[in-house]
Amino acid sequence: MEFDVGIIGTGPAGLSAAIFGQRLGLRCVVFGDTPGGNLCVIEEVLNFPGFPEGVGGAALGAKMFSQAQKEGAFFPMQPVQGLRKGEDLFIFEAMGKVEFKAPLGIIACGLVPKLDQIPMTNLKGIHLCATCDGPLYRGRGAVLAIIGGGNTAATYAIKLSKIAQMVHIIYRGSPLKMEHAMERMVKGLNNVNIWLNTQLKDFLGKERVEGLRLEAQDKKEEILKVDGVFLAAGWEAKLDFLDMEVKRTPEGYIWTDAHLMTSVPGLFAAGDVRDTDLRQIIAACADGARAANHAFEYLQGKI
């Protein structure tokens, strides 16, 4: 099946690219199996324009998905298995080796959290974004935990210290991996406690997280009561579907030029997966719109 542009990702960037691409007259096929992408793990979004009372992440993702469908974008509802460059077209391989072809491509697959050391759970109150979900705890005298010891954990601690009564940073190693300047800032906060050489063994609670079972280096276990947990072990770009060389930054993000085009002509990137200075929903939406517009211009020979 042939389209004008293949979009990898059903998060804010990919869905915005689909909406704007369709409105520009581009036939869009969008790969992904979760409407809204990582939005579905955000309990409530409080910083997206148009929703002064906040909106559930899953609900916002569903609205974006529905709008892209209404514009006519095609959704196989499958993640892409492979992306390679043919003679004139990009070839997107879905499950069952079904191939979709298009002269343009937009990678908007976002990032995946590093969860290899995190126990599995379905409890509420476990978050991936301090900016998005931190305000939920404002004015509640909350005790919050951050899992991780790098720069992400430091950023979360600084933000959450202004909201919570107490913030616990739990890191399985020693010393902390955050930059020295950030570590100095965190250690200067009087409501932040740091646990080193401490492993998270389990989340405790019935419907919401109520506590953590921790294990120290000497195997001694301790229960820490908390109202919420923020996972800050880090995020990474998962690009193993690429069957071609695409330039990346040392951190693993996709490099893009001023038109959001990658090192491969005709292939664009949008949202958190690219080298951007702001990883927020609104920035991803803007990226998606820009990528679609620049892809349209590229097809017309304007860039």
Instruction: Dihedral sign for Cα 199, 205, 207, 210, please.
Output: negative
CA distances in angstroms from 191 to 23, 196, 218, 224, 249, listed in the order given: 50, 16, 26, 15, 35
pLDDT at 129: 85
Burial of 260: CB neighbours in 10 Å, binned 0-12, 13-18, 19+: buried
Site of tokens 């646990």 = 195
Ranges of the chain with pLDDT below 70: none
pLDDT at 146: 97
Any idea what DSSP says for residue 208? B
pLDDT at 99: 96
Kindly state the helix (H) or strand (E) to which residue 294 belongs, with its residue range. Answer: helix 281-299
Q: CA–CA separation, 107 vs 14, rounded Å? A: 8
Got the DSSP string for 16-53? HHHHHHHHTT--EEEE-SSTTGGGGG-S-B-SSTT-TT
Burial of 279: CB neighbours in 10 Å, binned 0-12, 13-18, 19+: middle
pTM attached to this predicted model: 0.78
The answer to whether 5-111+237-299 and 126-231 have equal CATH topology is yes
Got the DSSP string for 106-157? EE----EE--TTS-----BSEES-HHHHGGGGTTTT-EEEEE--SHHHHHHH
CATH number for the segment(s) 126-231:
3.50.50.60
Least Cα distance to 266 among 241, 250, 246, 251 occurs for 246
CATH fold for the domain made of 5-111+237-299:
FAD/NAD(P)-binding domain (3.50.50)
> Within 13 Å, how many C-alpha atoms sit on residue 173's CB side?
9
- What are the boundaries of each domain within the chain? 5-111+237-299, 126-231
Got the DSSP string for 251-274? TSPBP--TTSB-SSTTEEE-GGGB
Q: CA–CA separation, 227 vs 138, rounded Å? A: 12
Output phi, psi for 215, to 5 deg: -125, 125
Q: Which amino acid belongs to residue 120? A: M
Bridge partner residues of 225 (DSSP): 211
Q: CA–CA separation, 18 vs 289, rounded Å? A: 8
Least Cα distance to 84 among 8, 28, 13, 15 occurs for 8
Q: CA–CA separation, 229 vs 210, rounded Å? A: 9
Burial of 175: CB neighbours in 10 Å, binned 0-12, 13-18, 19+: exposed
Q: Are 106 and 7 in contact, with CB atoms under 8 Å apart?
A: yes
pLDDT at 233: 83
